[in-house]
Structure 1
Amino acid sequence: MSGSNSSSSSGRSMLRTLILVLATTLIGVNSVGATPATQSSWTSALSQVYETTDRLPLPNLGNIVAHDPNIVQHDGNYYLFKGGHHVPIFKSDNLNGPWEKIGTVLDQNSIIDVGNRSRPWAPTTIYRDGMFYCYYTLSTHGKRNSAIGVATTNKLDGSPWNDHGAVIRTGKGPGSDIHPFSETNAIDASFIMDQNSNKSYLNYGSFWHGIWQLPLADDLLSIESPENPDAVQLTFIPNQKIRPQEGSWMSYHDGYYYVWFSQGKCCKFGESEHDFPARGREYNIRVGRSRDIRGPFKDKDGESLVEGGGTIVYASNHGIVYAPGGLGVLAGNDSSRDILYYHYLNTSIGFKDGDAHLGWNWLTYEDGWPEVTTDSAGAIFGIPSWLYLSILLCFWLYI
């Protein structure tokens, strides 16, 4: 009898321990990133330039240094591409890492003679019909002499990529005198496919005349009708000399196409409070939507994106997260929500470009408008993790 009681007591103890482990895990999932900001010689000055509200959730930690990250989900793994020497590629089975470097897109400098050919920016990789296409940027900060190139491979295992050269050029080079390339900046490419026609489009652009969209040729290696491109402007800030919009992304959800972009000062914040813009002028993530892939796009207040509109979805928060941007969206499915990922600066680490880290959040949609959350809220049999947590703790108290 005493042996039975001992066995029963041991079983309950093990069950209570297991429940505590599960509950702790759920708490951790919803509180990652809550690192207290450390003091510096100019913390008081910074409090005037970054938002300290807790209205927005903290990011889930990607645990990798990355500026303008791009993530592809394929065969049960995540593949992260980022700007850097020959465009490095990392692999993980979890967005929280750990990440393993598996190679680079380019095995030598880009064949495009523009900018820093050894360190392309802002890659975007897509998978179509058994082939991976990586669109990358070559430019110099603050210059319009830029190009978007493309490289391909059929495997993400460290195999060589084929560099096909430039898709579009601005500033100098073939085709750069044709509108809209004659006044835009060929950086920050992203890709979208029409849900009905399967037609593919390239989005690009920055400070110079906003963000634009072009139809791609069927081979995805060039634009359609390069002598007379069917270009559509997606975003613009009128009546201002400086128009800090870039890093576009386009996603699709429940009948709407969403144009995402980063607005504000992205980088080169330096080590002095004098290098920081006024509050709200740093990078933040904005969005507009349309039923048509070609627009027009409007924000939540009905303002056109080409008239300066754009609903803020994520921005500096808690005094910890600063200047989030360089974003992408991973599409969900019936059992998992869409995911917004981005780079951000953690005020407890530093503000240099090399301090940018990967962060991510689940997306929920209210009346068709995306909002960020730390909770998967539906990824586990459609039941939010807070409800699981409540059930587990009640069961723990009962036993």
Structure 2
Amino acid sequence: MGLISTPLFPRKQFFLHPVSPCVMFRTFFALLLTAALSCSTAALPAEFSPQPAYPLAHNSSLVAHDPNIIQHRGFYYLFKGGIGVPFSKSNTLDGPWEDMGPVLTGPSIIPKQNRTRPWAPAIIAKDNTFYCFYTVSHRGSNDSAIGIATSKELRSGAWKDHGAIIQTGTGPGSQKYPFKEANAIDPHVFIDPKDEQAYLIFGSFFSGMWQIPLSSDILSLKDPEHIDATRLATKPEDVKPNDEEGGFMTYRDGWYYFWFSHGKCCHFDPKHLPEDGKEYSIRVGRSKNARGPFTDKNGKPLTSGGGHVVYGSNHNKKVYAPGGLGVLSDRSQDILYYHFLNTSVGLRHTDAYMGWSYLEYINGWPVAKYEPVNSRA
């Protein structure tokens, strides 16, 4: 299709209303500029919106990478990666946050590298017990494990470390499918509201993200000898890197939503940032079944690299590479939370802050908003 479907200056208008060469040039240049901008926008990946299509993040003023939040007795409790899995408490997501100390007062009992600084915790509450799932691993490796600690109260020093529930790379069970090809990091536990079945969701790079049923006490796999594993999301084998991780599942109005982070998460060189859209962004697919298959807004399976972008970098990188996400259902309002960087502040691991956005569902698909909405309307 041509840039312009009709003549720039219809002859009848031209002779009735003479136009100076200067005006003609300005008009022609403006039309070319408009066409160029249209082509530039069209050149972006179809699933990625140009900046600043997304709202600014609400900033919690709390440094946190891979935050995980639960609500208990009127307070928010935020857990994050770090020495012993530190956690904080606040009565609002904006803070101020009270430091509550670490979950683990010593190294994890899992005999793997980096066990003093577990990653990406996931917290759930069930039957008056709190469960903290955590990652023990090191960068670029799948010699990893997911461990569990439990407590009857949200207090440092009150947690019991049960060790590993799954391992990859080395360790008991690591040579079974899917662990022999997966990476045991980034845990999330989803309890299906329909039947109370709990699922462990995990995975990063390597072979994508997986889901496995848990036993009723949530401390072990439902059937360790015959593992019923489902792959939820991955890129095609010929597409590298397989940079999808940090899965999170929710249920709303008959749909199961599978959320995840996509792109480069961290260790950015400020002089050589990745191409726009290649950094972390938050994506989602949905299904009528907790076990999938999940597809994005265009019907593309998540197991073929699909994923609808809900939130990405915006406002000239004041919000950059948002990811490590979770979703809170705070009464009638769903809230998406995540970590993000601000390129004008810094790109180090310690420059990541917890941010959050309200969610509105339009035709069953989540849209990030700055102002509150009734997401159940």
TM-score range, shorter chain: 0.7 to 0.9
Q: Which secondary structure does the structure 1 equivalent of 2:203 belong to?
A: strand
- What SS class does the counterpart of residue 303 from structure 1 fall into? coil
Shift of 1:283: 0.3
Any idea what SS the aligned residue of 2:201 has?
strand
Aligned 8 A contact 2:152 2:158 in 1: no
Q: How big is the shift at 1:273? A: 1.4
For the 8 Å contact 2:104–2:157, the answer to whether it is kept is no
Task: For 1:294, give the aligned amino acid.
Answer: R
Distance 2:373 2:216 in 1: 38
1:150 is aligned to: 148
Structure 1 residue 227 displacement after superposition: 2.0
Of 88, 100, 104, the match for 1:102 = 100
Q: TM-score, normalised by structure 1?
A: 0.80
Q: Is the 8 A contact 1:175 1:227 kept in 2?
A: no
Pick aligned residue for 2:315 from 315, 318, 331: 318
CA RMSD of aligned residues (A): 1.6
- Tell me, yes or no, if structure 1 residue 137 matches structure 2 residue 135: yes
User: Which residue of structure 2 lines up, in the alignment, with residue 298 of structure 1?
Assistant: 295
Number of residue equivalences: 328
Looking at structure 2, the residues matched to 152 and 87 of structure 1 have their Cα atoms a distance apart, in angstroms, of 13
Query: What is aligned with 1:280?
Result: 277
Instruction: Provide the residue aligned with 1:368 in structure 2.
Output: 364
The amino acid across from 2:363 in the alignment is: D
Q: Is the 8 A contact 1:203 1:248 kept in 2?
A: yes
Residue 281 of structure 1: CA displacement? Answer: 0.5
| 1:1-399 paired onto structure 2 within 5 Å | 53-238=51-236, 239-270=238-269, 272-274=270-272, 276-319=273-316, 320-333=318-331, 336-378=332-374
Does the CA-based 8 Å contact 1:266-1:283 persist in structure 2?
A: yes
Cα offset for 1:348? Answer: 2.0
Alignment check: 8 A CA contact 2:243 2:263 kept = yes
Query: Aligned-pair distance for 1:71?
Result: 0.5
Q: Is the 8 A contact 2:258 2:284 kept in 1?
A: yes
Superposed CA offset, 1:152-179 (max 9, x none): 0010133420000001000000000000
- Kindly indicate whether the alpha-carbon contact (under 8 Å) linking 1:123 and 1:134 is maintained by their aligned counterparts in 2: yes
More helix by share: 1
How big is the shift at 1:225? 1.2
Report SS of the residue matched to 1:363. strand
Query: % of aligned pairs identical?
Result: 52
Check conservation: 2:105, 2:157, Cα contact below 8 A: no
In structure 2, give the amino acid aligned to 1:280: G
Greater relative CO, 1 or 2 (CA 8 Å, sep 6+):
1
Structure-2 separation of matches of 1:315 and 1:83 = 22
In terms of mean alpha carbon deviation, does 89-98 or 191-200 score higher? 191-200
Which sits farther off after the overlay, 222-231 or 61-70? 222-231
* Aligned residues of 1:52 and 1:316 also touching (Cα < 8 A): no
Deviations 1:304-330 (Å, cap 9, x if unpaired)? 000110000000001111100000000
The Cα shift of 1:55 comes to 1.3
Q: Quick one: which amino acid aligns to residue 167 of structure 2?
A: R
**How many Å apart are 1:219 and its aligned residue?**
1.2
Structure 1: which 4+ aligned runs deviate by more than 3 Å?
none
Mind listing any 5+ residue stretches in structure 2 that lack a counterpart? 1-47
1:51–1:317 contact (8 Å) kept in structure 2? no
State the one-letter code of the partner of 1:375. Answer: E
